[in-house]
Amino acid sequence: MIYSLIFGILLALAAFLAFKMAVADWRRRIIPDVYLFPFMLIGLLVLVFGRWPVGITDGVLGGALGYGLGAGIGFLFSVIRKNSHKNDEFPPIGMGDIKLLAAGGIWLGTMGLAMATMVACVLGGLWGMRRRARFIPFAPFFMVGAIIALLGLWFLL
């Protein structure tokens, strides 16, 4: 009984933190660490102690893969920007986005991270083309992709 209550509280807190990250990225183009790091910690606690569709090994591997993927994309964009001689004020991908990919990997594992990232890129790209946006906030679209991936992991696998 108490175990289920604690698990429910942790999931509710994680949902609140995910919402706050999405809103902050949408409004200010920043994902604050004050929301991101507790989100990661709750993800690790859920993996270790909770009944979750992702195992601890896949969650840790997904977190490392998410961070490496985000850092690789960031490095690639920085090389492209340096060679194109563009002097943009903001880089295309920030450290908050990279850490969000790592947190998503912890919560979703490798397969869920791939699904969530693909959904986020497609939705964000469509939104950006429709609005002709110069900046596309990654967190709101990644959260939608994560929900879809989590439902897919939970019910399909």
**What pTM does this model have?**
0.91
User: What is the spatial distance between Cα 16 and Cα 19, in angstroms, rounded to a whole number?
Assistant: 5
Show pLDDT as tens, one digit a residue, over the chain (157 residues). 788 899 999 999 999 999 999 999 999 999 999 999 999 999 999 999 888 999 999 999 999 999 999 999 989 988 887 777 666 666 778 899 999 999 999 999 999 999 999 999 999 999 999 999 888 999 999 999 999 999 999 887 6
- DSSP-derived secondary structure for 15-41: HHHHHHHHHHHHHHS---HHHHHHHHH
